[in-house]
Each structure stands twice: as structure tokens, then as C-alpha cells.
Amino acid sequence: MPQLKLTYFDMHGGRAEPVRLALHIGGVSFEDHRFTHGQFAEIRKTTPFGQVPVLEVDGVQVTQTDSMLRYAGRLTGLYPDDTYQALLCDEVMFVVEEAGIKMGPTFRMTGDEQKEARLALVNGSIPVYLRWLAQQLAMHGGAFFAGGSLSVADLKVFVDIRGLNSGRFDHIPSNLVEQVAPSLNAHMERIAHLPAVQAYYAKFSAK
């Protein structure tokens, strides 16, 4: 098994969280290198694009979140072997990633500028992708997004919906998902209650 080191902010969420979850669920050992927002200025100097997460595989640094997530999925059996199901898995991951890219610039905004930008998303692209995800979930049986079992696509959606519901994002209503696509909340709850996911978060609350 390769030696892995995943570097990201010390938070339960964000782009690295699905990778962390996949590796934990699959029992793959890795160094979970977490840092504070105050340390980011120095950390980013060591990354190819000044961005995180980055994953070191036997000392070789790689970037791009969904590439890391697919790799983690292959290591852990959480990425479909069937090529069509893999396509469906990728499609879901890319839609969620694209939504995150649209949200990204708003984190550098404040005041009315941030409010205006986020309300535009709330009234525009966020409901569109949430409804699409709910439709895809229903089309594939209602429990999982691809392959009829847990995959990295489910973990990516789980982290995204958990974040939208958290109330941490100013001007994003914490009940938006429930209003627009309640089946995604039911999916989130199912993933949250998986024993391996419960064990992952329990180890942090025990500290």
C-alpha cells in the first residue's frame, strides 16, 4: 500500500473531506495533515497552484480534488468497476465540484457584495444542481448514485449537503436543501448513519 499524506484545512467539510472519508471507510492508512487558516499562506507556497488539498503518494505530490477522490475510491473499492457506472459516478462528482467552483469566489467577498453574490446562487444555480442530483438519485434507485452501492459520489454529495445545511455560509438558508430537494437530506442521513462514517466523526468528538 502506498504511503499517503493528505493536506487540507482543519475542518469537517470542504474538498478534502470526501477523500478523508473514503480512505477511512476503506481502512487505508494515511497522514491526515490539517492546518489552520492562519497557516495557509505558508502551506500554499508548497503547492503547485497555491491551492489545497494536495495528496502525496509515496512522496510525489498530486493535485485536483476529484482525481484524488477517484484514486481513493479505487484503493478502497468505493469507485465502480463497471465503466458506465464509473461514468455516472464521475458525472455526479463533477456537478458538485462545479457548484463549489461557483461558490468559491464568494468566500473572498464581504458585506453586500457577498450577500448579492450568494443570493444570486440561491436563486439561480444552486437549486438547479440540487434538483438534478435528486433526480439522478431517484433514477438510480433512491439509495446511491452509482453502482447500486456506496461510492465516492455519495461521499461527495454527503459532504456538500452537510455543508449547505450547516448554517456556516452567510446568506445561504440552512433549509434550502429541504425546500428544494429533500431526498438529498434523506440520503445525507443514511450516509451519516453508516457505522464507518459514525466512527470517523466519533474519533474527533472524543478528543
Domains in the chain (CATH in brackets) are 4-77 (3.40.30.10), 83-193 (1.20.1050.10)
pLDDT band at 203 (very low <50, low <70, confident <90, very high): confident
Report the distance separating Cα 174 and Cα 167, nearest Å. 5
Residue 124 CB neighbours (<10 A): 10
Report the distance separating Cα 64 and Cα 73, nearest Å. 15
Report the distance separating Cα 207 and Cα 204, nearest Å. 6
Question: Mean pLDDT, to the nearest integer, of 137-146?
Answer: 96
**What are the distances in angstroms from CA 148 to CA 2, 78, 181?**
28, 11, 20
Question: Mean pLDDT, to the nearest integer, of 28-50?
Answer: 96
Report the distance separating Cα 67 and Cα 19, nearest Å. 10
pLDDT band at 21 (very low <50, low <70, confident <90, very high): very high
CB 53 within 8 A of CB 15: yes
- pLDDT tens figures, 85-121: 999 999 999 999 999 999 999 999 999 999 999 999 9
Report which secondary-structure segment, H or E, holds 32: strand 31-35
Decide: pTM greater than 0.85. Answer: yes
- pLDDT tens figures, 143-153: 999 999 999 99
Report the distance separating Cα 62 and Cα 53, nearest Å. 9
**pLDDT value of residue 170:** 94
Smallest CA-to-CA distance from 69 within 8, 10, 11 is with 8
